[in-house]
């Protein structure tokens, strides 16, 4: 039997690997870094609403992709189900969802750095190397 953290890490690893090499990986990686702060400052429902608003009607936007990835990690069928459950949850469920999302956020941040090579500013390692040359 594996710990929830291990299962979460594996699922997020697979999601991040699928992003690698895409043109929007820098923006996605920067969102991975900023998302926990948004949750802590505004709450989970507002953070998911922020991603949905920024992503607009473009399903392939980094914001909507991250929102979909959170839905996947939290075992929900869609981004709409994710947003709706965060809005309608009672206090205990809302706190559990927030804790789960923040735990997942740590893996998203780690893998954004390790796999996508993107830091909190959205700069990739090769960008830093080129600016130092």
Question: What's the pLDDT score for residue 125?
Answer: 56
Question: What's the pLDDT score for residue 126?
Answer: 54
Report whether pLDDT(107) > 50.
Answer: yes
Structure tokens at 77: 């069928």
Question: What's the pLDDT score for residue 99?
Answer: 95
Question: What's the pLDDT score for residue 120?
Answer: 78
Rounded to whole angstroms, the Cα distance separating 89 from 95 reads: 9
H or E segment at 96? helix 91-114
**pLDDT tens, 18-69?**
999 888 899 999 999 999 999 999 999 999 999 999 999 898 899 999 999 9
Query: Hunting for tokens 């956020």 — which residue is that?
Result: 105
Class of domain 4-132: mainly alpha
Question: What's the pLDDT score for residue 3?
Answer: 78
Neighbours of 69 (CB within 10 A): 22
CA quadruple 17, 121, 74, 85: dihedral positive or negative?
negative
Does residue 48 contact residue 86 with C-beta atoms inside 8 Å? yes
Question: In the predicted model, what is the mean pLDDT of residues 100-123?
Answer: 91
Question: What's the pLDDT score for residue 127?
Answer: 53
Mean of all residue pLDDT scores within the chain: 89
Question: What's the pLDDT score for residue 12?
Answer: 96
Question: In the predicted model, what is the mean pLDDT of residues 87-98?
Answer: 95
H or E segment at 131? helix 125-132
What are the domain boundaries of the chain? 4-132
106: nearest Cα among 24, 33, 4, 28: 33
Rounded to whole angstroms, the Cα distance separating 80 from 42 reads: 19
Question: What's the pLDDT score for residue 14?
Answer: 95
Question: In the predicted model, what is the mean pLDDT of residues 114-121?
Answer: 88
pLDDT band at 124 (very low <50, low <70, confident <90, very high): low
Burial class, 47, CB count within 10 angstroms (exposed 0-12 / middle 13-18 / buried 19+)? buried
């Amino acid at each position: 039997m594996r710990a929830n953290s291990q299962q979460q890490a594996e699922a997020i690893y697979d999601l991040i690997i699928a992003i690698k090499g895409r043109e929007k990986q820098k923006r996605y990686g920067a969102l991975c870094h900023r998302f926990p702060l948004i949750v802590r400052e505004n709450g989970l429902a507002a953070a998911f609403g922020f991603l949905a608003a920024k992503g607009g009607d473009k399903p392939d936007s980094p914001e909507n992709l991250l929102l979909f990835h959170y839905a996947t990690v939290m075992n929900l069928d869609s981004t709409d189900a994710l947003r709706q459950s965060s809005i309608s949850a009672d206090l205990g469920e809302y706190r559990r969802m927030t804790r789960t999302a923040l735990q997942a956020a740590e893996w998203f941040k780690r893998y954004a750095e390790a796999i996508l090579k993107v830091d909190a500013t959205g700069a990739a390692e090769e960008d830093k190397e080129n600016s130092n040359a």
